[in-house]
A and B are shown apart, each in its own frame.
Chain A
Amino acid sequence: MTARPQHPLPSLSADRAEALLGQVHALTADELNWLAGYAAGMAAARRAEPASLAPRAIAPTAAPPVAARPPITVLYGTHTGTSRGLAERLARRLTDGGATARLIRASDYDPRDLARERTLFIVVATHGDGDPADDTRALHDFVLGRRAPTLPELRFAVLGLGDSSYPKFCHVARLLDDRLAALGGRRLQPRGECDLDVDAVAGPWLDGATAAGLAEATPARGEGVVIPLHPPGPIVDEPAANGAAATRARPALATVLVSQPITAQGARKRVRHLELAIDEASLGYQPGDALAVWPVNPPTLVAEVIAAIGGAADAPVSRDGQERPLAAWLGDALELTRLHRPFLIAHAARAADPTSALAAALAADAPADALAALVASHQVIDVLQRFPAAWTAAELVGALRPLGPRSYSIASSLRACPGEAHLTVAQVEDVRAGQRRVGAASDFLARVGDGDPIRAFIEPNPAFRLPADDADIVMIGPGTGVAPFRGFVQDREATGARGRSWLVFGEQHRRSQFLYQLEWQRALARGVLTRLDVAFSRDQPHKVYVQDRLAEHGAELFAWLEGGAHLYLCGDARHMAPAVEATLIAVARRHGALDADGGADWLAALRAGGRYHRDVY
């Protein structure tokens, strides 16, 4: 245990010192190095300005036009530690020479920062048959991928480490070096390629890099600026009503950049992460908004339905004055995976067996939940197969209800991911009577591949917005309910918001279903996320849910909320949301010494005061 030091300056209040040091203690060594350089640059600038001790956010929005040397970034990717040692030497020599250098392991580096780098050194190892070290993969994939930005401002140099007894000697360094140059970067010196006898090449390369880096870091008079990690990107306000924004009727096309399962082997529920390229004029959004997607029904399901009525895929069918082939109607215009009562009535009227379970469920004296149970457990194809009935193609097309869009809370922030919207999609699937049945949209989103277009529009969610930068937030998001909070945390990091952030997440198993685990771990390490509590229901003999964690930490939760924090709840409306609300009321009663009505009133007041936001479904 290290004791927290006494704060050194009388001008710094105890509260502020506490808050500041709390953040600082959460940083990694690399981040501390960066912060030291950043702060030194700011301090140098302040000395040139009228003295001011007013708190300043590191936030780029508040970034003062200060004169400082541009920071130099030294990245390393390593397996055995040799690259790290060389990178440390370089960073130390640059710092000793008066430059501001930040030293970052490739796995701790957000590749999106590349576009903002001015001077970059990379020390990177190659393994086996030309493979990057594990910590370098993300950087490697980004730089070589098609999302890599042009880098006209970049000055860089690359040092590779490898073993020349392998065929692809220093392959990773060569790839990165060539690619950075192709993207517009200018080499400060030629690539170095170290064999097992590392110092023979590394020594001269480090000398050259130090000299070049120090030269770059010496600003021409008046040119120096602090380059924030995340300057504000272009961002739209509420979609303008001038017709540019996509609508339900006139969706815009988004294309798939990434479609990636984010649950592992052994997960009982599969979840997929999608990154879509969007046009911000038509699909601009704010954190908390949803993206509505027009799905396309599974082709196999369309074929099954056509077979079930003995139809022909290309048979022309008219509906609403429009003539299209049967398969087209069933593919993208009509619901096949959700039933509704009018269709069932129409089907029962055509069905051969008037005593079937379907007829019973539709009978006037049927139990109230009989029809709901049937609808919940059947799709159109199940009804067609289980309760045989005579349909013509035209009749079926006329009886099915129009296909509707499906909404997903957006899991990104445009400030962090310009031109992109990310989704967190639970795969809706089960096996009914030996047949695999899927949800139309989650299956569609699992089918679409790189570059495939998706028809979509934004559903604004003005009641689910981030508060002012200095307000605290508590985010309760089990399962895919965590999606909007990924956007929140990205946004708060990009804006440098000062308010604290507390996330409560839950799923079944940590090992396979901890959605965005690596991102949360990094957000905590960076201090962007203040606190994370998790409930993995099936990792111990007794089940534990998010509400149990809220109760466990009730005193602190109540203190946050009484201190002005905003509360957000996202996810399942049937079981989770009522359980969480009951717990919130119990927490208020216990820690606020309220009676039963008082607890409910407290929650109602929180909501009326605009500090309790829900997005449940």
Chain B
Amino acid sequence: MSTPPPDPDPRPLTAVEHIKAGSDGLRGTLRASLAAPLTGALAPDDTHLLKFHGSYQQDDRDLREERRQQKLEPDYQFMIRTRLPGGVCTPAQWLALDELAGRFGNGTLRLTTRQAFQLHGVIKGDLQPTLAAINAALLDTIAACGDVNRNVMCNPDPAATALHAQVFPWAVRLSEHLLPRTRAYHEIWLGEERVAGGEPEPEPIYGRSFLPRKFKTAFAVPPSNDVDVLAHDLGFIAIADGDRLLGFDVSVGGGMGATHGDPTTYPRVADVIGFCTPEQLLAVAEQVVLIQRDHGDRRERKHARLKYTIAHRGLAWFTDELTRRLGWALAPARPYAFDHSGDRFGWARGADDRWRVTLHLDSGRVTDPPWPGVGPRLRTGLRELARIHRGELRLTPNQNLIVTGITDDARPAIEAVLAAHGLDGFRARRPARLHALACVALPTCGLAMAEAERALPAFADRLDDLLVAHGLAGQRLHLRITGCPNGCARPYLAEVALIGKGPGRYNLMLGGDQAGTRLAHLVRDNADEPTILALLDGLLGQYAAGRTANEAFGDYVVRTGAA
């Protein structure tokens, strides 16, 4: 290997780069941090390393000021995220996580926009037992967060069951292929002894410093684009001949995150650069990761995603580099068509004669009401369901849940559980609320500037009221709310997006399409909810009067320039 040329970039590496490189294979001082008795927090450097192990240190921001006055440190607690490729789990795994949510967490489970589970509110002393118990349930949290390839998403509900059976295993293989090799996770959480010698394990893909930033991968199965494949660093779009998988169109350079007030940051829709066969997939993915490892910006974390590498150097440079590294070129991309990025709620029968039912969960939160009788008992209901269900459970990219593999005989019992616990909300719920997404935001997310999950139900209902008022009842509308511009709920692809700017204030963006292929644009900066609703009221009135046949709201806004 030749010596790299002197680095002309005068900017220093970010602090996180030094932490990663000096972490002894992601071990850092995590053990000492966990044992430190005077605080519920980790040492600052260790908070960065903990992400690679699937957990974020957070604190209850609702209590911050109160606790400061109480002369207590913030209420430090940890969010734990599973790695769950394609969102597929067993009822036994569901039950294990449900039990942990009650014993160590805040009594809720959350299904994420990347088809993973999150536990919230775990305190430091309970972290190790929780992760060990997750492992005992044959799940893990490795690389669920951090500057690595995150949970690999995959459409969980193809109309053609046989095609899912061919695509999903590739999501699992890719997830495992891109896992870090360090044994730190097994030593710290699972009690594995470190092999004598002391040198960290070689990381053939990631090296000592891992990636410059997080890296996201998704598999779409047209016509569904529920994974929002173009929002990811790396995407694979299944191309099939009937039920037979031929290969994948490859997309690169998508990403959602931005920073308020910084025009050098922006969301970006990925470019489709060619086609590969299933056998070529791992090599393509690995080389895309390696290009980003070697060329991503390690001096400014705001610019460290693959989308900026491609935007700065050009797509032609990227495809040339990929071809050079692979030693061959991708085939030309094949045609595909997406209809929409939402879920298909309710009961459906697959080619295997088994039933599946897609349930709606607001923002993916699985919880019982704080007081009996004031709302549906979703957590209890899904626990009951998991006890009797013999098929699979699949988390959707829209934070919902599909119960699959239900036989004719089993269906009545499942129906009864759904009805008894209010899990059949999908039947009555109106479109804005049904298809909405929201990130966690307050009170636990450290980045949030405004409410998201907690504000969603009321706002979506107001929007549904407006649809009814304008004679648009039943019209599909994609609404997404995030508490900050980081974009966890992929808001920039929504028809209506609220992006948190401050308490009760949002940037309103409009004009994404329902297929998830076009970015929304900024319509109103830093507006409060009444202002936003008044603006939408007017626009929906224009839309009701002026739309063409089957024209969606986002398409209308863009076509007419109404906003």
Q: A520-B38, A521-B38, A540-B125 are in contact. Are A127 and B502 (CB under 8 A)?
A: yes
With a CB–CB cut-off of 8 A, which chain B residues contact A520? 38
B37 at the interface (CB under 8 A from A): yes
A196 at the interface (CB under 8 A from B): yes
Complex Cα distance, B261 from A532, in Å, reads 44
With a CB–CB cut-off of 8 A, which chain A residues contact B123? 511
- The answer to whether A163 and B261 touch across the interface, beta carbons within 8 angstroms, is yes
Q: Contact partner of B70 among A128, A165, A261, A540, CB < 8 A?
A: A261
- The answer to whether B63 and A264 touch across the interface, beta carbons within 8 angstroms, is yes
With a CB–CB cut-off of 8 A, which chain A residues contact B39? 517, 521
- The answer to whether B68 and A521 touch across the interface, beta carbons within 8 angstroms, is no
- The answer to whether A534 and B37 touch across the interface, beta carbons within 8 angstroms, is yes
Complex Cα distance, B67 from A261, in Å, reads 9
Interface size class of B (residues with CB under 8 A): 20 to 34
B560 at the interface (CB under 8 A from A): no
Q: Which of A488-540 contact B (CB under 8 A)?
A: 510-512, 514-521, 524, 532-534, 536, 539-540
With a CB–CB cut-off of 8 A, which chain A residues contact B502? 127-129, 166
Among the stretches B71-79, B399-407, B432-440, B459-467, the one at the interface with A is B71-79
With a CB–CB cut-off of 8 A, which chain B residues contact A536? 37
What is the total of A-B residue contacts with beta carbons within 8 Å?
72
- The answer to whether B71 and A539 touch across the interface, beta carbons within 8 angstroms, is no
Complex Cα distance, B123 from A129, in Å, reads 31
Q: How far is the CB of A133 from chain B (nearest CB, A)?
A: 11
B294 at the interface (CB under 8 A from A): no
- The answer to whether A518 and B71 touch across the interface, beta carbons within 8 angstroms, is yes
Q: How far is the CB of B183 from chain A (nearest CB, A)?
A: 21
- The answer to whether A518 and B64 touch across the interface, beta carbons within 8 angstroms, is no
Q: A165-B525, A521-B39 are in contact. Are A138 and B125 (CB under 8 A)?
A: no
- The answer to whether B503 and A129 touch across the interface, beta carbons within 8 angstroms, is yes
Main secondary structure of the interface of A (DSSP, over half): mixed
- The answer to whether A510 and B40 touch across the interface, beta carbons within 8 angstroms, is yes
B395 at the interface (CB under 8 A from A): no
- The answer to whether B70 and A260 touch across the interface, beta carbons within 8 angstroms, is yes
Q: A163-B261, A166-B526 are in contact. Are A134 and B40 (CB under 8 A)?
A: no
Q: Which residue of A lies closest to B70 (CB)?
A: A262
A263 at the interface (CB under 8 A from B): yes
Q: How far is the CB of A232 from chain B (nearest CB, A)?
A: 26
Q: A532-B38, A539-B125 are in contact. Are A264 and B503 (CB under 8 A)?
A: no
Q: How far is the CB of A546 from chain B (nearest CB, A)?
A: 13
A465 at the interface (CB under 8 A from B): no
Q: Contact partner of A128 among B64, B125, B261, B449, CB < 8 A?
A: B449
Complex Cα distance, B69 from A163, in Å, reads 27
Complex Cα distance, B101 from A419, in Å, reads 50
Q: How far is the CB of B261 from chain A (nearest CB, A)?
A: 4
Q: Which of A106-139 contact B (CB under 8 A)?
A: 127-129, 134, 137-138
Complex Cα distance, B502 from A165, in Å, reads 10
- The answer to whether A134 and B64 touch across the interface, beta carbons within 8 angstroms, is yes
A273 at the interface (CB under 8 A from B): yes
Q: Contact partner of A137 among B63, B68, B449, B501, CB < 8 A?
A: B68
- The answer to whether B526 and A165 touch across the interface, beta carbons within 8 angstroms, is yes
With a CB–CB cut-off of 8 A, which chain B residues contact A519? 71
With a CB–CB cut-off of 8 A, which chain A residues contact B75? 264, 511
Q: Which residue of B lies closest to A131 (CB)?
A: B503
Q: Which of B483-526 contact A (CB under 8 A)?
A: 501-503, 505, 525-526
| Most A CB within 10 A of own CB, among B37, B75, B125, B501 | B37
With a CB–CB cut-off of 8 A, which chain A residues contact B415? none
Q: A264-B75, A517-B73, A521-B73 are in contact. Are A534 and B38 (CB under 8 A)?
A: yes
B65 at the interface (CB under 8 A from A): yes
With a CB–CB cut-off of 8 A, which chain B residues contact A524? 38
- The answer to whether B68 and A134 touch across the interface, beta carbons within 8 angstroms, is yes
- The answer to whether A518 and B38 touch across the interface, beta carbons within 8 angstroms, is no
Contact mask A241-271 → B, CB, 8 Å, 1/0? 0000000000000000000111111000000
Contact mask B50-83 → A, CB, 8 Å, 1/0? 0000000000000111111111110100000000
- The answer to whether B72 and A128 touch across the interface, beta carbons within 8 angstroms, is no
With a CB–CB cut-off of 8 A, which chain B residues contact A264? 63, 66-67, 70, 72, 75
Q: How far is the CB of B58 from chain A (nearest CB, A)?
A: 14
Complex Cα distance, B263 from A196, in Å, reads 11
- The answer to whether A137 and B65 touch across the interface, beta carbons within 8 angstroms, is yes
Q: A163-B261, A166-B526, A540-B125 are in contact. Are A138 and B68 (CB under 8 A)?
A: yes
Complex Cα distance, B67 from A363, in Å, reads 51
- The answer to whether A273 and B71 touch across the interface, beta carbons within 8 angstroms, is yes
Q: How far is the CB of A132 from chain B (nearest CB, A)?
A: 10
With a CB–CB cut-off of 8 A, which chain A residues contact B40? 510-511
- The answer to whether B38 and A516 touch across the interface, beta carbons within 8 angstroms, is no
Complex Cα distance, B260 from A491, in Å, reads 47
Complex Cα distance, B260 from A165, in Å, reads 11
With a CB–CB cut-off of 8 A, which chain A residues contact B525? 165
Complex Cα distance, B250 from A166, in Å, reads 42
With a CB–CB cut-off of 8 A, which chain A residues contact B37? 510, 533-534, 536
Q: How far is the CB of A26 from chain B (nearest CB, A)?
A: 13
Q: How far is the CB of B29 from chain A (nearest CB, A)?
A: 9
Q: How far is the CB of A84 from chain B (nearest CB, A)?
A: 12
Q: How far is the CB of B447 from chain A (nearest CB, A)?
A: 10
Q: How far is the CB of B66 from chain A (nearest CB, A)?
A: 8
Complex Cα distance, B124 from A536, in Å, reads 14
- The answer to whether A196 and B261 touch across the interface, beta carbons within 8 angstroms, is yes
Q: How far is the CB of B528 from chain A (nearest CB, A)?
A: 10
| Most B CB within 10 A of own CB, among A273, A511, A520 | A511
Complex Cα distance, B123 from A99, in Å, reads 45
Q: How far is the CB of A526 from chain B (nearest CB, A)?
A: 14
Q: Which of B273-331 contact A (CB under 8 A)?
A: none
With a CB–CB cut-off of 8 A, which chain A residues contact B67? 264
Q: How far is the CB of A571 from chain B (nearest CB, A)?
A: 19
Q: How far is the CB of B397 from chain A (nearest CB, A)?
A: 30
Q: Which residue of A lies closest to B502 (CB)?
A: A128
With a CB–CB cut-off of 8 A, which chain B residues contact A532? 38
Contact mask B544-555 → A, CB, 8 Å, 1/0? 000000000000
Q: A520-B38, A521-B38, A534-B38 are in contact. Are A263 and B70 (CB under 8 A)?
A: yes
Complex Cα distance, B264 from A196, in Å, reads 13
| Most B CB within 10 A of own CB, among A129, A260, A518 | A518
Q: Which residue of B lies closest to A198 (CB)?
A: B261
Q: Contact partner of A260 among B38, B69, B73, B503, CB < 8 A?
A: B69
Complex Cα distance, B65 from A518, in Å, reads 13
Q: Which of A352-380 contact B (CB under 8 A)?
A: none
With a CB–CB cut-off of 8 A, which chain B residues contact A129? 502-503
With a CB–CB cut-off of 8 A, which chain B residues contact A166? 502, 505, 526
Complex Cα distance, B550 from A374, in Å, reads 81
Q: How far is the CB of A142 from chain B (nearest CB, A)?
A: 13
Q: How far is the CB of B77 from chain A (nearest CB, A)?
A: 9
Complex Cα distance, B352 from A2, in Å, reads 62
Complex Cα distance, B322 from A490, in Å, reads 64
Q: Which residue of B lies closest to A80 (CB)?
A: B259
Q: Which residue of A lies closest to B59 (CB)?
A: A134
With a CB–CB cut-off of 8 A, which chain A residues contact B260? 163, 196
Complex Cα distance, B121 from A511, in Å, reads 12
Report which A residues bind B (CB closer than 8 A): 127-129, 134, 137-138, 163, 165-166, 196, 260-265, 273, 510-512, 514-521, 524, 532-534, 536, 539-540
What are 22 pairs between A and B in contact, CB < 8 Å? A128-B503, A129-B503, A134-B64, A137-B68, A196-B261, A260-B69, A260-B70, A261-B70, A264-B63, A264-B66, A264-B72, A510-B37, A512-B72, A516-B71, A517-B72, A518-B71, A518-B72, A520-B38, A521-B38, A524-B38, A536-B37, A539-B125
Give me 6 other A-B pairs in contact (C-beta within 8 A), A196-B260, A264-B75 excluded.
A138-B68, A166-B505, A166-B526, A263-B70, A511-B75, A518-B68
Report which B residues bind A (CB closer than 8 A): 37-40, 63-73, 75, 123, 125, 260-261, 449, 501-503, 505, 525-526
Shortest 8 CB-CB distances between A and B: which pairs?
Answer: A196-B261, A128-B502, A165-B526, A128-B503, A262-B70, A518-B71, A517-B72, A516-B71
